[in-house]
Amino acid sequence: MYLTTAIDYANGSPHLGHAYEKVLADALARVQRLKGEAVYWVTGLDEHGQKVQQAALAAGVAPQAHCDGIAAGFQALCGALDISHDDYIRTTEPRHKAVVAEILQVLYDDGLIYKAEYTGFYSVRNEQFVQPKDRLEDGTWPESYGEVVSLTEQNYFFALSRFQDWLIAELKARPDWIFPAFRRSQVLEFLKEPLNDLCISRPITRLSWGIPLPFDNEYVTYVWFDALINYISVLGYPSGPLFAQHWDSAVHVIGKDILVPPHAVYWPIMLHALKLPLPKQLIVHGWWLVRGEKMSKSTGLRVDPMELVAAYGSDAFRYYVLREMVLGQDGDFSQESFDQRYKSDLGNDLGNLVSRLLHMIATYCGGVIPAPTLREAPEMALEAFFKQTIKEIPAAYARLELHKAIEETFSLVRAINRYAEERAPWKLSKDPHAQAALNTTLATMAEGLRLAAVLLLPVLTQAAPRILTLLGQAPSAPWSAEALQWSRSCLTGAKVGEKPILFPRK
Ligand code: MSP
């Protein structure tokens, strides 16, 4: 799988939405790797265009220096969230600019880019011409357009409209191309109206911060046309070995606001015009709201992922966003729900289990995991529950139901806790005749915990390897049938580590 996220605009620092998208793609990449499948996964920064030029101007720095600062912030976020990407592409890098120029020239030479005059209404904020039909009844424009002005310009256009029928047929032939499925209907709905050709240039008199058109240096490239190309420039298109190796298996993770038209209309048509295959899938997530409201610069409503990570750790952040958001729908952030998940799921259910178990193995068994000599009703019930539930987890990931996969994994953790309550090893330890039951209980709990930790590897990238190490195991294990099977012997004799505090009280 070749996995990408949207590349973030370099016009502000990262917020919860940017962080979520990276964690989501990272978890998917880790699942792939655990299943033994090769993954190449990239993210990056979208550095050109009006918004970035304006942000740099407002900050009083040159655009490149401004972007360098923003890039450092986004890259620090990736580090803080334990993102395991293979490359990070910035659209001001020469390797990207060269590919954009080459593609423009090819399309120009093929007659698919042409010059024309255009008069229309232009949204300064969105950097695009808007349609008269979008006007509200009172004659004003939707607030999201910002200032709208009338503009006449000579510009270059990409012949999108020529490919409209092709695109509709393609979409109809690929029912699974967009996840979730209901989003495909939105695209088809959009395509019921005739497509306009796409204006892909901006006169440098109006915007200088962009990639110059190779055939006319009075213009720079429209930022979306430039940005989408990152998905292939980062692979070294056209001749790089990574491109040959990975493009066929591309999966783009994006937010719902950038599906129509950029990813579902411009991008497939650009690829088709270049005689390239389409990506295999678009995974479209919803938006994070904060108490039901959109985050925005103007209202100041904003959740800073770096602050959360600094206070609770990367695992807590990753766990919260993946467990709380149903992929494809909108999600709601609140500090209370974050605290609640941290305290009850991570602290009580998982953290206490680990420290309690390690403490008991240290105290009752000299720090060595004993052999489970008995197999009575409580053990059989736990094993059966594990067997049934474990089957569901990789399947839920494959269906992109990450919240479900995590919920199921935590049901395993809770089942171990219930089993421990039932067997009450702290009582068994006081009964000299109950040695076999005590050993069996601790060994059974340890095996359950091993399996839960293996299944938590894509999410809890710090705690899961740590738990495995504390159980005397390698920090990672593939999701092979063997590693995911309940074993009565694989931990026997392993020396455990000292009890940790994985999720300290806040
Ligand atoms: N630069 C373009 C993408 C170009 S891709 C070739 C862009 N950048 S962005 O910074 O505005 O958004 C980056 C990603 O973050 C998008 O996928 C967007 O949907 C996502 N999010 C931005 N705000 C969000 C939330 N509040 N919630 C979840 N994700 C959201 O668009």
Residue pair 191/168 in contact by the 8 Å Cβ criterion:
yes
Among residues 497, 412, 398, the alpha carbon closest in space to that of 447 is found at: 412
CA 386 to centroid of ligand 1, rounded, Å: 38
Domain that holds residue 223: 2-312
User: How much is the pLDDT for 126?
Assistant: 77
CA distance 89 to 98: 13
Q: Do 356 and 447 fall within a single domain?
A: yes
Among residues 111, 110, 153, 145, the alpha carbon closest in space to that of 128 is found at: 145
Q: Do 240 and 126 fall within a single domain?
A: yes
Q: Residue 94: which H helix or E strand, with range? A: helix 94-109
Q: Do 288 and 427 fall within a single domain?
A: no
Helix (H, G, I), strand (E, B) or coil at 223: helix
In a domain, 152, yes or no: yes
CA distance 167 to 77: 37
CA 74 to centroid of ligand 1, rounded, Å: 13
Q: Do 96 and 223 fall within a single domain?
A: yes
Q: Which DSSP string corresponds to 230-278? A: HHHHTTTTTT-HHHHHHGGGEEEEEEGGGIIIIIIIIHHHHHHHTT-PP
Beta bridge pairs of residue 179:
283
- Asked if residue 255 has its Cβ within 6 Å of ligand 1, the reply is yes
In a domain, 276, yes or no: yes
Q: Which two tokens stand for residue 302?
A: 């904003």
Beta bridge pairs of residue 43:
88
User: How much is the pLDDT for 306?
Assistant: 98
In a domain, 341, yes or no: no
Ligand 1 atom 18: the closest Cα is on which residue?
255
User: How much is the pLDDT for 502?
Assistant: 98
User: How much is the pLDDT for 295?
Assistant: 86
Q: Is 87 left (phi over 0), alpha (psi -120 to 50) or beta?
A: beta
Q: 10 Å Cβ neighbour count for 116?
A: 11
User: How much is the pLDDT for 463?
Assistant: 98
Q: Do 209 and 295 fall within a single domain?
A: yes
Q: Do 278 and 170 fall within a single domain?
A: yes
In a domain, 477, yes or no: no
**What is the residue type of 110?**
D
Give phi and psi for 121, each to the nearest 5. Answer: -90, 135
CB hemisphere CA count around 433 (13 angstroms): 0
User: How much is the pLDDT for 89?
Assistant: 98
Q: Do 286 and 377 fall within a single domain?
A: no
CA distance 278 to 267: 9
In a domain, 478, yes or no: no
CA distance 499 to 211: 56
* Contact partners, residue 142, CB within 8 Å, separation at least 6: 134, 136
Helix (H, G, I), strand (E, B) or coil at 42: strand
- Asked if residue 267 has its Cβ within 6 Å of ligand 1, the reply is no
- Asked if residue 470 has its Cβ within 6 Å of ligand 1, the reply is no
Q: Do 416 and 304 fall within a single domain?
A: no
CA distance 313 to 502: 10
Of the three residues 290, 312, 334, the one that is the final residue of a domain is 312
Residue pair 234/87 in contact by the 8 Å Cβ criterion:
yes
Q: 10 Å Cβ neighbour count for 146?
A: 12
Locate the ligand 1 atom nearest the alpha carbon of residue 11 and give its number: 10
Q: Which two tokens stand for residue 141?
A: 């424009």
Residue pair 462/500 in contact by the 8 Å Cβ criterion:
no
User: How much is the pLDDT for 296?
Assistant: 77
State the total domains in the chain: 2
Torsion of CA 23, 29, 31, 34, to 10 degrees: -130
In a domain, 338, yes or no: no
Q: 10 Å Cβ neighbour count for 235?
A: 24
In a domain, 495, yes or no: no
Q: Do 282 and 395 fall within a single domain?
A: no
CA distance 480 to 285: 29
Cα–Cα distances in angstroms (integers) from residue 97 to residues 54, 94, 212, 299, 364, in the given order: 21, 5, 9, 35, 64
For residue 28, what is the domain's CATH number? 3.40.50.620
Q: Do 351 and 306 fall within a single domain?
A: no
Note down pLDDT in tens along the chain; length 506 residues.
999 999 999 999 999 999 999 999 999 999 999 999 999 999 999 999 988 999 999 999 999 999 999 999 999 999 999 999 999 999 999 999 999 999 999 999 999 999 999 899 988 777 777 988 899 999 999 998 999 999 999 999 999 999 999 999 999 999 999 999 999 999 999 999 999 999 999 999 989 999 999 999 999 999 999 999 999 999 999 999 999 999 999 999 999 999 999 999 999 999 999 999 999 999 999 999 998 898 877 778 899 999 999 999 999 999 999 999 999 999 999 999 999 999 999 999 999 999 999 999 999 999 999 999 999 999 999 999 999 999 999 999 999 999 999 999 999 999 999 999 999 999 999 999 999 999 999 999 999 999 999 999 999 999 999 999 999 999 999 999 999 999 999 999 999 999 999 999 99
Q: Do 257 and 351 fall within a single domain?
A: no
Pairing of strands 2-5, 250-255: parallel
pTM of the model: 0.96
For residue 425, what is the domain's CATH number? 1.10.730.10
CA 247 to centroid of ligand 1, rounded, Å: 22
Among residues 42, 2, 37, the alpha carbon closest in space to that of 22 is found at: 42
Q: Do 356 and 426 fall within a single domain?
A: yes
In a domain, 494, yes or no: no
CA distance 241 to 233: 12
CA distance 235 to 21: 21
User: How much is the pLDDT for 298?
Assistant: 73
Residue pair 437/428 in contact by the 8 Å Cβ criterion:
yes
Locate the ligand 1 atom nearest the alpha carbon of residue 230 and give its number: 6
CA 258 to centroid of ligand 1, rounded, Å: 7
Which one of 18, 67, 329 would you pick to mutate in the ligand 1 pocket, going by the greatest count of ligand atoms within 8 A of its CB?
18
CA distance 367 to 172: 61
